[in-house]
Amino acid sequence: MKTRLFFTLIFSFIVLLFPAQKKKTIKDSSATTDKEVYHSHIMVGIDVLNLGLMAFTEDRRLQGFVSMHIHPKLYALADVGYEKNRYNKNGYNVLANGFFIKAGSVYMLSSDSHFLENGFYAGGKVAASFYQQDIKSIPIRGFQGYDSFESFPKSSQSSYWLEGAVGGRVSLLSSRFFIDLQLQPKYMIYTTKQEKIEPMAVPGFGTNSNKFKLGISWNLAYWF
């Protein structure tokens, strides 16, 4: 129920933004009247950094985003992805796989006067992950300081966090293709637990039990 409600709210948010697409008036230097040209103001991209890292690590992460221009300097964002990762350190062996979604907005702090989509931005998102957790081994402190290890069956879990978005983007050779680099400081605000055990691997967030994380995405995008 929580999963369905969250996705309903997120997708409702995205759908409500579509009416914000507008007709942009452009002055034609060779005419005395204005021309109205329709612009969709939508950018779609894929994280090529994590896609490339799959060749060198056992983690698997696919992530894409949609950005929509809703104000002269304000953009709505939605990220969707799938990740399969593992935490295997200090006696822990935990696997997790599932989907994650993020939604928020960014504000253009500065932009190119000749190409307004080039520039630096900052903003924030709310994010959630819904995943399967498989605890194959965790250390249990025993008597006289000796550790034993215990496993637990697979379970469905969910985690929720706040995420900053600080970065910049630049057009490739003044085309509609863009390179978008984004730093993503994250803070976990709530997570479900199996047997009161802190999750050690959360798709879209990271590994280990630290509530603070710093992510990075390097995207190749196209502006429609």
93: pLDDT strictly greater than 50: yes
pLDDT tier at 53, thresholds 50, 70, 90? confident
> Amino acid identity of 123?
G
pLDDT tier at 22, thresholds 50, 70, 90? very low
Q: Which of 199, 215, 159 is nearest to 6 (CA)?
A: 159
The answer to whether the beta carbons of residues 128 and 101 sit under 8 Å apart is yes
Residue 188 lies in domain: 2-223
> Comparing 199 with 10, which gets the higher pLDDT?
199
Q: pLDDT at position 88, please?
A: 94
Number of domains in the chain: 1
Q: What is the mean pLDDT of the chain?
A: 84
Q: Encode pLDDT of 158-206 as tens digits.
A: 999 999 999 999 999 888 999 999 999 999 999 999 999 999 999 999 9
3-state secondary structure 12-63: HHHHHHHHHCCEEEEECCCCCCEEEEECCCEEEEEEHHHHHHCCCCCCEEEE
Q: Encode pLDDT of 138-148 as tens digits.
A: 988 766 666 78
Q: Which of 99, 82, 96, 98 is nearest to 136 (CA)?
A: 96
Residue with the two structure tokens 């329709």 = 38
Give the least confident one: 5-9, 67-71, 119-123, 143-147.
Answer: 5-9
Q: Which of 161, 10, 21 is nearest to 80 (CA)?
A: 10
Question: Which CATH number belongs to the domain containing residue 215 in this structure?
Answer: 2.40.160
Q: Which of 139, 130, 138, 136 is nearest to 191 (CA)?
A: 130
Which token pair is 71?
């104000």
The answer to whether the beta carbons of residues 222 and 187 sit under 8 Å apart is no
